[in-house]
Structures are given as structure tokens and as C-alpha cells.
């Protein structure tokens, strides 16, 4: 079944194939049973092949999203994070954010505690790029863009 998903993704190079959650659940349950039932060299090699297929599927779908194709299917939310990361990366490198020594000025959107400091919506913080990427994907912060 996983090989069919990879094949379908390869055939449609202009779209991310819509893979329904129930299809994924059936696959996951089948492979989970295989992992639980067997623990020998042959089945371990079989599982490695499935892992390689899953990695190939991820890379194919990721490549399409990076190229600007809208994600859809069971992993839409995960793949959508890539678009957010891409936007921040491009914004950072092109000077679209206020920065200082690799840190980005951000507006806090949700209550949070960061490094033992209570943050409230509306607060302004300066964060390293890696924290910006982590917190923007969960909508805790928004980098402040340079306005002309």
C-alpha cells in the first residue's frame, strides 16, 4: 500500500495527492501488527523497506510544497508548517524583519512562558531565529515586519 502512495505521488507532479486519514490509519495498523508479531531479520529488513518508502513519500510531498504547491491530505497541517518556515526564512534573509545579531523582533500573540519569563499578548520580544521558527508555527509569535 505504501508503494502505491509513492507511485501516485510520483505520477502527479503538479499537485500534492490527497491521502485520506483512513488510508493512513489502515497502513499504520498493518505495519504496527507486523512490528509486534515478528522480530526476525527478514521482517526487520521488510520494515526498513517500508521506512524508506515512507521517507520517499515525505520527500516527494515536501519538495512539492517547497515549490509552492498547496498541501492537502492527512499531513496538510504538517506540510503547511513548511510554508511558514519558508516565509520566515525568506523574510529574515531579505531584511523584512527587524533584527539584531541573528535575533528577530517579534510580537507575542498568546500567553506563554519563555525562559522563565511570562509573555502576554501584545508584548514585544527579540528571539533567535530557531525560537522564532518554533514559536511561529504554533502562532505564539509573529515577526515584526519592516514597513515602508
Q: What confidence tens digit (pLDDT) does each residue in 9-55 have?
A: 999 989 999 999 999 999 999 999 988 887 888 888 998 999 999 99
CB proximity list for 46: less than 8 A, separation 6 or greater = 34
User: In the predicted model, what is the mean pLDDT of the chain?
Assistant: 92
pTM of the model: 0.76
* CA gap 18, 9 in Å, rounded: 9
The pLDDT score that the predictor gives to residue 39 is 80
Amino acid at each position: 500500500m505504501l508503494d502505491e502512495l509513492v507511485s501516485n505521488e510520483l505520477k502527479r507532479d503538479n499537485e500534492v495527492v490527497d491521502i485520506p486519514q483512513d488510508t493512513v490509519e489502515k497502513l499504520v495498523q498493518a505495519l504496527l501488527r507486523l512490528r509486534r508479531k515478528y522480530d526476525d531479520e527478514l521482517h526487520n529488513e521488510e520494515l526498513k523497506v517500508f521506512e524508506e518508502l515512507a521517507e520517499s513519500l515525505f520527500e516527494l510531498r515536501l519538495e512539492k510544497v517547497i515549490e509552492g504547491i498547496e498541501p492537502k491530505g492527512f499531513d496538510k497541517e504538517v506540510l503547511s508548517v513548511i510554508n511558514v518556515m519558508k516565509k520566515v526564512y525568506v523574510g529574515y534573509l531579505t531584511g523584512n524583519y527587524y533584527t539584531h545579531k541573528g535575533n528577530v523582533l517579534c510580537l507575542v500573540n498568546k500567553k506563554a512562558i519563555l525562559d522563565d519569563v511570562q509573555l502576554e499578548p501584545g508584548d514585544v520580544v527579540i528571539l533567535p531565529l530557531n525560537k522564532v521558527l518554533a514559536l511561529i508555527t504554533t502562532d505564539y509569535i509573529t515577526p515584526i515586519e519592516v514597513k515602508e
